[in-house]
């Protein structure tokens, strides 16, 4: 296993194959043959080599053909397409004549990295494939990867690649060639599934790199399956969303919520359920406050694959309210900080809310039934979160002795009634 040093190139060569003329597109044997893959959260990237645009406006997951590069004259930069500023300043890849390479741009917006994949691996036997895993899903953490049969159970399966750390290119593993199901989970867990897609082909005698990439909300992942010395790229896009329920009903009322037949919550307010995987699309939802079915008050919602959502249920059985909120569980690009937002679910207050940590103002003017934008927040070992309103003297709610850690995402949920507000700090990620 090899750890990628940030802002440095990685060269990996297991053996030297015979390169056939025309393979992948480069025929000049005095040149290196390079393709550029955008596996990042940036919408479009450009790779400059020796001052010229070698690849322009490359969107995420787009196949690119190999282009010839002079190994002795290959100073490079990566920039956001249309921008004059480089996201990755001048670097020089280590290239050799007539060898094939992939330059992989990866990472979240604000923290772009790169990886050089040397495509010099000997082919496996005809009935096998070679595959290695690169975890470029920064916010998803350490992951396990399973290559398994469509009807195999995850509980009885053994990880093909376990503990794939962020920024690490793992060693090649041989598998039987064929059509398989790819499942990715949080490391050490078979219940925290991040990707589950069938019908992925691993060809006879072929060599692949599986690059794991961040989906929209940071926790679920997508995949890019790259075949060595071929322009072929197979996108493995997550087909699920994640949903949880936040209950903030008045008088600490019990909220029961079922999404697509799975009960996510049955508990007194205020409380937030765990996330559950749900098929993308329009879910079937049933909600009750106490013994009163309030499903007819629910808004319709279309869930987008790779995205996290909170179904906020508040108000009372007599005056129920609900709204879908989109969650962003990507981490702060400042590794010394966390992220936090405020949800205002006091339906009868008729006022906005604001949030401070001690004397530091974090968010302001959050309307009823909405969530604030996420903001970076300093760590605290015993901080006080103060919720205020322009129509309330003093504080609406004060949460003391709160622990806020770097590299985590939080929500302050405030609900109940104007006469008896209630809330909590919830660790989202």
pLDDT digits 0-9 by tens, 224-282: 999 999 999 999 999 999 999 999 999 999 999 999 999 999 999 999 999 999 999 99
Mark which of 327, 361, 387 sits at the end of a domain.
Answer: 327
Residues 402 and 418 in one domain: yes
Domain shared by 277 and 356, yes or no: no
264: left (phi over 0), alpha (psi -120 to 50) or beta: alpha
Burial class (CB in 10 A: 0-12, 13-18, 19+), 127: exposed
Total domains in the chain come to: 3
- Is the CB of residue 352 less than 8 Å from the CB of residue 365? yes
Give the residue from 200, 217, 237 where a domain finishes. 237
Strand (E) or helix (H) holding 377: strand 375-377
The pLDDT value recorded for residue 27 is: 67
In this structure, the answer to whether residues 11 and 88 fall within a common structural domain is: yes
Supply the range of the domain harboring residue 251: 239-327
- Look up the pTM and report it: 0.91
Quote the tokens at residue 118. Answer: 């040397």
Decide if 77 contacts 90 (C-beta within 8 A). Answer: yes
Contacts of 426 (CB under 8 A, 6+ apart): 246, 272, 410, 411, 412, 413
Residues 387, 221 contacting (CB under 8 angstroms):
no
pLDDT, one tens digit per residue, over 129-170 is: 999 999 999 999 999 999 999 999 999 999 999 999 999 999
CATH number reported for the structural domain that contains residue 384 in this entry: 2.60.40.1120
Across residues 376-405, what is the average pLDDT? 96
C-alpha span between 263 and 245 (Å, rounded): 10
Sorting pLDDT into bands at 50, 70 and 90, what band is 84?
confident
Based on the domain organization, do 283 and 293 belong to the same domain? yes
CATH code for the domain in which residue 266 is found: 2.60.40
Please check whether residues 84 and 200 belong to one and the same domain.
yes
For the segment 291-327, what is each residue's pLDDT rounded down to a tens digit? 999 999 898 889 999 999 999 999 999 999 999 999 9
């Amino acid at each position: 296993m090899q750890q990628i040093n940030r802002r440095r190139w990685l060269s990996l060569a297991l053996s030297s194959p015979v390169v056939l003329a025309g393979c992948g597109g480069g025929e000049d044997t005095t040149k290196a043959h390079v393709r550029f893959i955008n596996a990042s959260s940036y919408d479009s990237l450009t790779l400059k080599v020796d001052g010229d645009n070698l690849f322009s406006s490359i969107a995420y997951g787009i196949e690119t053909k190999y282009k010839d590069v002079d190994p002795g004259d290959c100073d490079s930069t990566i920039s956001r397409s249309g921008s004059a500023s480089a996201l990755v300043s001048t670097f020089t890849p280590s290239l050799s004549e007539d060898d094939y390479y992939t330059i992989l741009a990866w990472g979240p917006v604000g923290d772009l990295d790169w990886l050089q994949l040397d495509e010099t691996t000997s082919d496996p036997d005809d009935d096998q494939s070679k595959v290695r895993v690169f975890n470029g899903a920064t916010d998803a953490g350490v992951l396990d990867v399973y290559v398994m049969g469509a009807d195999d159970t995850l509980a009885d399966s053994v990880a093909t690649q376990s503990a794939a750390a962020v920024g690490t290119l793992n060693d090649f593993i041989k598998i039987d060639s064929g059509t398989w199901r790819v499942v990715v989970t949080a490391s050490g867990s078979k219940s925290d599934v991040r990707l589950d897609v069938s019908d992925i082909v691993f060809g006879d005698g072929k060599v692949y790199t599986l690059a794991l990439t961040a989906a929209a909300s940071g926790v679920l992942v997508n995949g890019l399956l790259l075949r060595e010395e071929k322009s072929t790229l197979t996108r493995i896009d997550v087909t699920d969303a994640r949903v949880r329920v936040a209950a903030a009903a008045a008088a600490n009322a019990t909220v029961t919520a079922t999404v697509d037949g799975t009960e996510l919550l049955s508990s007194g307010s205020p409380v937030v359920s765990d996330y559950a995987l749900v098929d993308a699309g329009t879910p079937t939802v049933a909600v009750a406050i106490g013994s009163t079915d309030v499903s007819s008050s629910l808004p319709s919602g279309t869930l987008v694959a790779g995205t996290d959502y909170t179904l906020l249920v508040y108000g009372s059985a007599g005056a129920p309210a609900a709204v879908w909120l989109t969650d962003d569980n990507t981490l702060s690009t400042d590794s010394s900080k966390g992220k936090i937002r405020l949800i205002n679910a006091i339906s009868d207050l008729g006022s906005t809310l604001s949030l401070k940590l001690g004397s530091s103002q974090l968010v302001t003017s959050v309307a009823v039934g909405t969530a604030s934008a996420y903001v970076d927040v300093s760590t605290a070992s015993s901080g006080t979160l103060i919720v205020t309103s322009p129509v309330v003297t003093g504080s609406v709610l004060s949460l003391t002795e709160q622990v806020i850690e770097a590299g985590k995402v939080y929500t302050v949920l405030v609900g109940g009634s104007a006469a008896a507000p209630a809330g909590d700090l919830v660790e989202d990620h």
